[in-house]
A and B are shown apart, each in its own frame.
Chain A
Amino acid sequence: MKLNLALAQIATKLGDVEANLEKHIHYIEQAKAQKADLLVFPELSLTGYVLQDLVASVAHKPTEDDPVFKHLLKASQNLDLVVGFVDEDSRHRFYIASAYLSGGKVLHVHHKVYLPTYGLFDEGRFFAWGDSVRSFDTRFGRAGMLICEDFWHASPPYLLWLDGADIMLFSSASPGRGLNDREKLESARWVERVSKAYASMFTSFVAHCNRVGFEDGLLFWGGATVNDPNGELIAQGPYFDEALTLAELDLNQLRRTRARLPLLRDERTALVQKELNRILSRG
């Protein structure tokens, strides 16, 4: 089975959901024309990233009667979508969220579980922390979504893996930093390194879609990637510019790789649980 995956590394207008929705629709059309089955947008793709006091005013609910999601749900009749947005729950907590839309339905919503609040980041000040990491079934098999800092920690991808995800969909709004004499920014090298590592260690597909464009002095570096279950890079988007990157995922590769390298079969989850219990119960 093949999955035509498209990654839309877009620039957004800060706080202008309507303009960003328009851009989503544009890229959805493009991806559809190129026969994509699934199109992934970056973190907070409908709102922009450094929202600060804009958070409440750009929040939406992923429901059919929502003025933004009704268009996206309609578009998901043709191809599956992952979009980034600010989710407001019924008690008015705001989350950095990704929604997986398919066949006019919301299959899954992930709330970012790690909110970086250090250095140039201030997410914990403005957002509520998500509290679950779950895989979910799609028409291409079981998948999982993580948002930026979520996969800077090793445990969320590990949990998705154990929960059955064979396709990991990472989205980011990663500001470029760490310019030195190398060809790539330190932040780009780091993310590329861990994406490849997760694909290798979890013998899974790992796709990463990072936004582009500037917000004040912050540059988001783009550079979408797809790694296969062998940890091989099979698609790479450009740095800094908007682009639609396509990759054909041969899902049968999961079987071939895992027949050769049974890391999933041999993973000793009971041992992990036992040791975690011991470690966490230490006074």
Chain B
Amino acid sequence: MVDLTINTDVAREILTGFIRSEVRRVGYSRAVVNLSGGLDSALSCVLAVEALGAENVLALRLPYRTSSPDSLEHAQLLIDQFQVQSETIDITPMAEPLIQRDPNISNVRRGNILARMRMIVLYDKTEVFKGLAIGTSNKTEILLGYSTLWGDMASAINPIGDLYKTQVRQLSRALGVPSPIIEKPPSADLWQGQTDESELGFTYEQVDKLLYLLVDQRYSPQECIEEGFDTAFVNAVIARVRRNQFKRMMPPIAKLSNRTVGYDFLYLRDWGT
């Protein structure tokens, strides 16, 4: 039986410590989070509040004209409950000129533009608020590549990137994230009616268990099938993880010299701090 249950007290202590340490050691004391109204950003925001204090966290609500009203409302629920600073900026007038250039634009292109527009606003506000951008990508979506490169993946530090979606849900419950946010179907809300699970073709419950065996427990594909996972599902998930490796890396640099960034110029980001 695959059990993804985590000790939420330990997770909470480590993740708030991580935010505090990594924000302060670069000389900052504040953080900015894009609060979509969904679960991942809610959790990142609450962790940042616990780490830095509500007065040091700016939550941004960045709706587009087709965004679900629920997203805005749910983000507001969190803002009210945790008393974080907030700002709401409609990205429609920024995104629309680009989107309107092509009447046949696909949902995926439109979604990517919105995700990247939100990244631009997020990073602009980090400068104004003097805070670091807190990441909101969970382990499931990072592994599946279910995200926009240089869009919602962009951040200075990511406290939730080693938590599967079902673990995000568990920790969010423990930290008091409002239940409408926990209970609604996960959605990037990049177009109307979009939900993660219908787009992906499987549930987080299913895929998290499979990824846990494949990645954390180093099961072979065959062993996963023997554990009862459908062969086609196993193969599709493995293909998806492999295909999206590029999203988990900095762009490779073509090596010419004796010492090249990424290969043999090796320092942690925390170098000197």
A109 touches B (CB below 8 Å) = no
Task: Indicate with 1 or 0, residue by residue over A149-172, a CB within 8 angstroms of chain B CB atoms.
Answer: 000000000000000000000000
B7 touches A (CB below 8 Å) = yes
Contacts of A13 in B (CB 8 A): 272-273
Which of the segments A76-84, A86-94, A179-187, A247-255 contacts the partner chain? A179-187
A229 touches B (CB below 8 Å) = no
Contact count band on B: 20 to 34
Q: How many A-B residue pairs have CB under 8 A?
A: 62
Q: Known contacts A14-B273, A15-B271: does B17 contact A214 (CB below 8 Å)? A: yes
Is A52 a contact of B266 with CB atoms below 8 Å? Answer: yes
A183 to B14 CA separation, bound complex (whole angstroms):
13
Is B5 a contact of A215 with CB atoms below 8 Å? Answer: no
Is B21 a contact of A52 with CB atoms below 8 Å? Answer: no
Contact among B6, B266, B270 for A215, CB-based, below 8 A? B270
Is A54 a contact of B6 with CB atoms below 8 Å? Answer: no
A13 to B9 CA separation, bound complex (whole angstroms):
27
Q: Is the interface of A mostly helix, strand, loop or mixed?
A: loop
Which residue of B has the minimal Cβ distance to A212?
A: B17
- Which A residues, 13 to 62, have Cβ-Cβ distances below 8 Å to chain B? 13-16, 50, 52-54
Is A53 a contact of B5 with CB atoms below 8 Å? Answer: no
Contacts of B10 in A (CB 8 A): 179, 183-185
Is B14 a contact of A14 with CB atoms below 8 Å? Answer: no
Which residue of B has the minimal Cβ distance to A188?
A: B10
Contact among B3, B9, B270, B271 for A214, CB-based, below 8 A? B270
Is B269 a contact of A240 with CB atoms below 8 Å? Answer: no
A217 to B155 CA separation, bound complex (whole angstroms):
14
Contacts of B162 in A (CB 8 A): 217
- Which B residues, 1 to 48, have Cβ-Cβ distances below 8 Å to chain A? 3, 5-7, 9-11, 13-14, 17-18, 21-22
Contacts of A215 in B (CB 8 A): 268, 270
Is B7 a contact of A240 with CB atoms below 8 Å? Answer: no
List chain B positions with a Cβ less than 8 A from chain A: 3, 5-7, 9-11, 13-14, 17-18, 21-22, 162, 264-273
Which of B3, B266, B271 has the most chain A CB atoms inside 10 A of its CB? B271
Is B21 a contact of A214 with CB atoms below 8 Å? Answer: yes
Is B3 a contact of A181 with CB atoms below 8 Å? Answer: yes
Q: Known contacts A16-B272, A54-B267: does B22 contact A180 (CB below 8 Å)? A: no
Contacts of B266 in A (CB 8 A): 52-53
Is B272 a contact of A217 with CB atoms below 8 Å? Answer: no
A52 to B259 CA separation, bound complex (whole angstroms):
14
Which of B5, B11, B266 has the most chain A CB atoms inside 10 A of its CB? B266
Is A52 a contact of B268 with CB atoms below 8 Å? Answer: yes
Contacts of B264 in A (CB 8 A): 53
Is B268 a contact of A219 with CB atoms below 8 Å? Answer: no
Is A180 a contact of B267 with CB atoms below 8 Å? Answer: no
Which residue of B has the minimal Cβ distance to A241?
A: B17
Is B14 a contact of A54 with CB atoms below 8 Å? Answer: no
Is B270 a contact of A181 with CB atoms below 8 Å? Answer: no
Contact among B6, B269, B272, B273 for A181, CB-based, below 8 A? B6
B71 → chain A closest CB, angstroms: 29
A180 to B3 CA separation, bound complex (whole angstroms):
9
Is B5 a contact of A180 with CB atoms below 8 Å? Answer: yes
Known: A14-B272, A183-B10, A213-B21. 6 other contacts (CB 8 A): A52-B266, A53-B267, A179-B11, A180-B7, A183-B9, A215-B268
A65 touches B (CB below 8 Å) = no
- Which A residues, 121 to 168, have Cβ-Cβ distances below 8 Å to chain B? none
26 residue pairs A–B, Cβ–Cβ below 8 Å: A14-B270, A15-B271, A52-B266, A52-B267, A53-B265, A53-B267, A54-B267, A179-B7, A179-B10, A179-B11, A179-B14, A180-B7, A181-B5, A183-B7, A184-B10, A185-B10, A214-B21, A214-B270, A215-B270, A216-B270, A217-B18, A217-B162, A219-B14, A219-B17, A240-B13, A240-B14
Is B7 a contact of A182 with CB atoms below 8 Å? Answer: yes
Contacts of B7 in A (CB 8 A): 179-183
Contacts of A104 in B (CB 8 A): none
A213 to B14 CA separation, bound complex (whole angstroms):
10
A144 to B126 CA separation, bound complex (whole angstroms):
51
Contact among A15, A53, A180 for B272, CB-based, below 8 A? A15
